[in-house]
A and B are shown apart, each in its own frame.
Chain A
């Protein structure tokens, strides 16, 4: 099957891009791993929009999903892109046959930043995003004593949602260091981003009755066979579920595998693909939009998806340069407005580079510890690509999605060099593990 534009990911950026590109007459393919459109932010919104605990902003995603469903794009849900040849536009997809596209838009979103603390592999320790997915896809809440530990807007959103569902967390351990609020106000953005800021303050007000420990350090999960207790410097509490969160980072697995140029994002301590104002990457056929090109939230993702669709139409001769400029201007303003609060949020929730103790597993798949990574660095491993051959970190099923950034950070610290001088883990196709049967079925 041949398309003008192939979009990988049916979250806000991918859906908005598909709608815009279809309106401009492009033949559009949308490939998404999930069974229904929405991405993670609007995950399962068609099924769950009536669940009041999720809030009105969540149900607002239904309109976007409905527009996408009506757009006329060829939609392949439950489908994984496992290889893309950017030079030819050929895509290997499973299940089902391959496809080819003149332009490819990666809208693969974000993942939660891994939080390597002692005991984070114990059953019962999960990401806060994971708990929210339980709520969205199954209406389910963690039972027993639930502790939220970490920082970021999602912490307060999830706390409010769990409270509305009559399953409030028994304790919140916020890791934001003291003095950050003043730094955030100095960073600016709070006035032009006051709409979003007010929403955040609303969540804080709604959850003010919940017990909170602030500026927590030294987090660890403890228990026999599953988490039973969370401890921190100066305290501990019994718990049945421990939910961790230190913000989200772009899902760079495919962009890095394609060898796209990436830049170090110092504010968010992560790599992001280098893109221009319309999302075009360093490869002539490939664009990146949404959180996958830098964390900005769903509204910025919608605008960047639309901009990337306009750019695709222009490049394919379906939109004049004047038409592009005219249509792009309001979208760029919308995106700038949606990103206005970023300086404030980036300063408030700047990632805390908590020291990772030697015994902590940083590679969950191959069970490689921070101490082993340090030893490899001292033996000459320059970065995660070398550590992979020393230790197998990054060679397991997740292909380095969960350990790559931590391994790179530990090596940078051990070598005494800046994090941006350590090359990120270079993933390889297949972008997700395949069975021999899937390969044989080609």
Chain B
């Protein structure tokens, strides 16, 4: 859980974290927005489904992989927020693509 310090950096950019609007400072990353939103997880692992939140925030650990504006597997800590950005939790391993099933 993280809190902004409006006296230092006012939260002026509205993004959607798992569909919920959150105001974050300009210059924050999508991963920071997830931490500021108080989300329980940014992804669930592909192997065991364990919840994860960002660990390194500098592009090393890949624990912040999330869906950003519809693109999966984005290192959320490397993407600065933009107004209206949609950040969604990435859940486990992706299902196999099966066109006959309409997916």
Contacts and interface: CB of A to CB of B under 8 A. Distances in A.
Interface in B32-77: 32, 35-36, 40-41, 45, 47-48, 50-63, 65, 71, 73, 75, 77
A138 B27 contact: yes
Nearest to A392: B47
15 contacts: A50-B8, A78-B78, A121-B63, A137-B28, A137-B29, A139-B4, A140-B9, A140-B25, A142-B1, A142-B3, A226-B40, A226-B51, A398-B60, A432-B75, A435-B71
A112 B56 contact: yes
A47 B1 CA distance: 23
Given A126-B54, A127-B56, A402-B61, A51 B41 contact: no
A275 B43 CA distance: 40
B4 A140 contact: yes
A124 to B, nearest CB: 7
Nearest to A365: B62
B80 interface: yes
Contacts of A433: 73
Contacts of A143: 1-3
Nearest to A253: B60
A144 B52 CA distance: 19
Nearest to A396: B62
Interface hub of B9, B32, B71 (most chain A Cβ within 10 A): B9
A111 interface: yes
A138 B25 contact: yes
B1 A53 contact: no
Given A137-B28, A225-B51, A367-B50, A111 B58 contact: yes
Contact of A367 (B25, B48, B56): B48
B5 interface: yes
A140 B55 contact: no
A226 B41 CA distance: 9
B2 A139 contact: no
Contact of B65 (A47, A124, A142, A397): A397
B54 to A, nearest CB: 7
A366 B62 CA distance: 11
A294 B48 CA distance: 36
A134 interface: yes
Interface of B: 1-5, 8-9, 24-29, 32, 35-36, 40-41, 45, 47-48, 50-63, 65, 71, 73, 75, 77-78, 80
Interface residues of A, number: 51
A139 B47 contact: no
Given A130-B55, A367-B48, A139 B60 contact: no
Given A33-B78, A47-B27, A139 B5 contact: yes
Nearest to A240: B1
B28 A140 contact: yes
A10 to B, nearest CB: 13
Contact of B35 (A134, A165, A397, A401): A134
A129 interface: yes
Interface string A122-135: 01111101100110
A19 to B, nearest CB: 24
Contacts of B48: 367
Given A47-B27, A130-B56, A396-B62, A142 B47 contact: no
Interface string A219-245: 000000110000000000000110000
A141 B2 contact: yes
B73 A367 contact: no
Interface hub of A33, A240, A397 (most chain B Cβ within 10 A): A397
Nearest to A368: B47
A211 B27 CA distance: 33
Interface string A156-185: 000000000101000000000000000000
A134 B2 contact: yes
A35 interface: yes
A226 B78 CA distance: 23
B63 A364 contact: yes
Nearest to A127: B56
A286 interface: no
B45 A367 contact: yes
A149 interface: no
A48 interface: yes
B2 A140 contact: yes
Contact of B59 (A33, A124, A144): A33
A53 B8 contact: yes
A48 B26 CA distance: 11
B35 A140 contact: yes
A28 interface: no
A159 to B, nearest CB: 17
B29 to A, nearest CB: 6
Given A140-B25, A165-B8, 6 more contacts: A48-B9, A121-B63, A126-B55, A130-B55, A137-B29, A140-B3
A373 interface: no
B5 A140 contact: yes
A11 B5 CA distance: 26
